[in-house]
Amino acid sequence: MGDRLPSLCHGRKTDAARPETGRTSEKPHALTTKPLLDATGVAKNYGAVAALRNASLSVLPGEVHALMGANGAGKSTLVKILTGAIRADAGRILIRGEARDVRSPAAARRAGLLPVYQEPALIPDLDVLSNLRLTGTPVEPFRAWVRELGIPDLDIREMARDIPLAVLRVLDLARALAVEPDVLLLDEMTAALPANLAEKVLEVVRRQGDSGRAVIFISHRFVEISALCDRATVLRDGQTVGVVDIEPGVEEKIVELMLGARIEKTKVATRAAGQAAAAPARPRLGVRNLRVGTKLNDVSFDLADGEVAGVIALEGQGQDELFAALAGSIRPSGGTIEVGGQPARFGHPLDAIRAGIAYVPGDRAEALAMQRSVRENIALPFSAALRHWGPIAMGRERATVLDAIKRLQIDTRAQGEVQRLSGGNQQKVTIARWIAADARTILCFDPTRGIDVGTKQEIYKLLRELAGQGKSVLFYTSELEEVQRVCDRVIVIFGGRVVDVFPVELADEPALMRAAYGLPRDAKEDVGILADPTQPSSPSPAGGTAP
């Protein structure tokens, strides 16, 4: 049935050992052809938060186009808009020069836009064949693509639920390919794929570009992007900040675009010099070879008293699992956690809390009882244990709560429900809870996401103060500049492993960004504490750090 496949071999990029150089110059129809997909001025607000302000994306026929941006830059929002999963507040989407209203995934499909999401869209409780019928996908081309993608023995009667994730993602791709979409959107397509499948996938994606169709390729892996893509659109803070041709050394330029003007500013360390990492103190929390499922593989580090350790990682590199395991929310599948030198087992968050570990989740909606008052939210952990179910000593509770409110300067003018507070004040409430409870170790997961600058400053100050009092803080942040403001040390996680640990002096944003993308440190800055020497080391791009 291979003859039903779209013609496979064109000259342009099929020579597998394509040299890394001189590729982008052969942009064939860049100027002559109309774009297949042209989105301009796309904006989307969630309440008061602007997820996208002014994003544009133009994809030409026959190209593989990378869509890049740091965490929270708006990539996924843009993809959701293009594929009809959500509706934009503003903006125009032209497909083959025609304005199209992509109202639903079905409409996007009809318009020739097909996404393959990170979580496969196959219905778990239907077999593969039924999944094909559900989406009106022709079976034979699908089978051909599946074989082409390196799965020779697929049983289409198998339930999607019983198929391993990696294969499922490939099937999702094959299903999309089988209807020959004009524009294919691939979200982190090679994540969770074993090397052989990933290779096949990349090969097919490359060929897709040759057949006059287009692929939008979202990836965190520079290696793939430079091997595969023709151009890249870079998003920052919900805006398109640049479109670049992929050529050798472009990584630096992309990192710069992703970071924006901050790159210069943050060379100046904003943290007071006197607060630099104190002398090695007793480890409060020890993490040894911690593993959680497939997401977190072998993470080890220490967290000392009086220290703020930063954690930097791209989305989905295992940081969520790390924090959840330390907070007792999920059970690790291997390794140990030590508290004050003693091994600890957490079966329930209460165990972690008893060990003095408090967890401030990234999503405030996860931590707060939104319809309850500030006071009740702060006092919530007090009532948790059975023996505190009785009458509350209202006076004492009031004093403790007021103390915490004052310390964090929470604006409680909006009395009553926490949901009426601003995001920043809500975040303060989640932290205040643990200050009132006097936790020794605080795990902060991106506490400044989506809050205003003033409150951010207050939170930085607070975290430093806590460290000054001898408490230890583990601080995951998606904003690299915060590292300089808050942390003593930075742990970089990539692919579920600690790939690097920076002392704060060396942790400038370009260095962190490169490390977070799994790129090795520059030779001249390398002080030899690369935690994982097994990390694939492609030749480091020349050009060094930004000036």
Minimum distance of other proteins from residue 39's CB (angstroms): 19
Residue 370 interacts with other proteins (CB under 8 A)?
yes
Which of residues 123 and 223 has its CB atom nearest to other proteins in the complex? 123
Residue 153 interacts with other proteins (CB under 8 A)?
no
Nearest to 519 by CA among 508, 503, 535, 531: 535
Residue with tokens 């007021």: 402
Residue 524 interacts with other proteins (CB under 8 A)?
no
Subset of residues 396 to 435 that bind other proteins, contact rule: CB under 8 A: 411, 413-414, 416, 419-425, 433
Subset of residues 319 to 358 that bind other proteins, contact rule: CB under 8 A: 327, 329, 348-350, 353-354
Residue 181 interacts with other proteins (CB under 8 A)?
no
Minimum distance of other proteins from residue 118's CB (angstroms): 11
Q: Which of 1, 365, 523, 542 is the binder for other proteins (CB under 8 A)?
A: 365
Nearest to 237 by CA among 365, 83, 77: 77
Q: Which of 8, 90, 139, 385 is the binder for other proteins (CB under 8 A)?
A: 385
With CB under 8 A as the rule, give the number of residues binding other proteins: 79
How many CB atoms lie under 10 A from the CB of residue 136? 9
* Amino acid making up residue 57: L
Minimum distance of other proteins from residue 434's CB (angstroms): 9
Which of residues 272 and 453 has its CB atom nearest to other proteins in the complex? 453
Which of residues 206 and 456 has its CB atom nearest to other proteins in the complex? 456
Residue 115 interacts with other proteins (CB under 8 A)?
yes
* Sequence-separated (6 or more) residues with CB below 8 Å from residue 364: 423, 426, 427, 430
Q: How many CA atoms lie within 13 A of 405 on its CB side?
A: 18
Residue 390 interacts with other proteins (CB under 8 A)?
yes
How many CB atoms lie under 10 A from the CB of residue 244? 16
Residue 386 interacts with other proteins (CB under 8 A)?
yes
Scored b (16 or more CB within 10 A) or e, 252-288 reads bbbbbbbbbeebeebeeeebeeeeebeeeeebbbbbe
Which of residues 26 and 155 has its CB atom nearest to other proteins in the complex? 155
- Residue 429, Cα to own-chain centre: how many angstroms? 25
Distances (CA, A) of 225 to 68, 89, 222, 230, 344: 10, 30, 5, 9, 42
Distances (CA, A) of 494 to 332, 499, 501: 18, 6, 12
Minimum distance of other proteins from residue 450's CB (angstroms): 5
Which of residues 11 and 389 has its CB atom nearest to other proteins in the complex? 389
Joined together, the tokens standing for residue 499 give 């790939």
Residue 514 interacts with other proteins (CB under 8 A)?
no
- The DSSP symbol for 159 reads B
Residue 100 interacts with other proteins (CB under 8 A)?
no
- Residue 22, Cα to own-chain centre: how many angstroms? 31
How many CB atoms lie under 10 A from the CB of residue 26? 10
Minimum distance of other proteins from residue 283's CB (angstroms): 24
Subset of residues 23 to 82 that bind other proteins, contact rule: CB under 8 A: 47-49
Strand pairing category for 183-187 and 214-218: parallel
Minimum distance of other proteins from residue 424's CB (angstroms): 6
Q: Which of 91, 105, 212, 242 is the binder for other proteins (CB under 8 A)?
A: 105
Minimum distance of other proteins from residue 453's CB (angstroms): 8
Instruction: Look at phi and psi of residue 224 and say left if phi exceeds 0, alpha if psi is from -120 to 50, else beta.
Output: alpha
Minimum distance of other proteins from residue 254's CB (angstroms): 28
Residue 103 interacts with other proteins (CB under 8 A)?
no
Minimum distance of other proteins from residue 482's CB (angstroms): 17
Residue 104 interacts with other proteins (CB under 8 A)?
yes
505 vs 274: CA distance, rounded Å: 13
Which of residues 3 and 125 has its CB atom nearest to other proteins in the complex? 125
Range in contact with other proteins (rule: CB under 8 A) among 278-286, 381-389, 467-475, 500-508: 381-389
Which of residues 280 and 390 has its CB atom nearest to other proteins in the complex? 390
Subset of residues 196 to 255 that bind other proteins, contact rule: CB under 8 A: none
Minimum distance of other proteins from residue 368's CB (angstroms): 6
Q: Which of 30, 278, 380, 546 is the binder for other proteins (CB under 8 A)?
A: 380
Minimum distance of other proteins from residue 381's CB (angstroms): 4
Residue 382 interacts with other proteins (CB under 8 A)?
yes
Q: Which of 131, 240, 266, 317 is the binder for other proteins (CB under 8 A)?
A: 131
Minimum distance of other proteins from residue 442's CB (angstroms): 13
Minimum distance of other proteins from residue 342's CB (angstroms): 19
* Sequence-separated (6 or more) residues with CB below 8 Å from residue 453: none
* Sequence-separated (6 or more) residues with CB below 8 Å from residue 304: 278, 280, 281, 282, 283, 284, 472
H-helix segments, 229-381: 250-259, 262-265, 319-326, 349-354, 364-367, 374-379
* Sequence-separated (6 or more) residues with CB below 8 Å from residue 299: 287, 289, 290, 291, 318, 322, 335, 493, 496, 497, 498
Nearest to 82 by CA among 64, 55, 62: 55
Per-residue interface string for the shown chain with other proteins, residues 436-475, x marking contact by CB under 8 A: --------------xxxxxx--------------------
